[in-house]
Amino acid sequence: MCGRYVSVSSTTILVDRFTIDEVRIEEKEPVYNVAPTLEMPLVAVSRGRRVLDQVRWGLVPSWAKDLSIGSKQINARAESVTTKPAYKRAFVKRRAIVPADGFYEWEKREGSKQKQPWFIRRRDGEPLAFAGLWEIWHDPKIGDDAPRIRTFTIITTEANDLLEPIHERMPVVLPESEWDRWLDPEFQDVDALRQLLVPAPSDQFEMWPVSTLVNKADNEGPELIERVAVASD
């Protein structure tokens, strides 16, 4: 799964990198420990324009009774994203890109109860384009006057060869050549879209072990992605 990621690129960088037509967020602060329920930048298409907006992490389907379900739906598995009720409608019409500068995964260590966190990013330092889905929810207890809350999830797939020794899953990272098709709500060829939900090539990434400080969502700062030594088994 992808339970934490890093978002440090400025709004200006994201606008340039993802060819944004409309910006709906202010200049953002760097976040080295993005946790579920935080509102983070999201790229989607609205009325034919590519938009950068601020959206809550943890998808809440329109039919949900309350927001709490979102904390359980921060990731959508590629294998079931077209059939699971929470995601299948969004997969057809509400696809998005989640910009990220890297992400964390945790390795189970033999003989230790504590997992070792690793930081993974692109070798060239460019922002990653996670495949995401978004939804709009309003509180049914309030009715039609309730504020609309937009939420998103990150699609995950099997790990590539680089990540597989530390974790079995990774986010789907979309190649730039497929961004237009992925974001286009008019493109609804489910079989063609599912073919994009594969592990990104290992040679595009680098990774290193980091401090367990990242385990606590309240911890924040560039020290979270600094390399640390790992004791040999």
Q: Please identify every residue annotated as catalytic.
A: 2, 105
What SS3 state is found at 158? strand
Cβ atoms of residues 201 and 160 within 8 Å? yes
What span, in angstroms and rounded, lies between the C-alpha atoms of 64 and 207? 37
| Residue 193, phi-psi category: left (phi > 0), alpha (psi -120 to 50), beta (remainder) | alpha
Residues 6+ apart with CB under 8 A from 41: 7, 11, 14, 25, 28, 52, 53, 54, 55, 98, 99
* Sign, CA torsion 23/29/33/36: negative
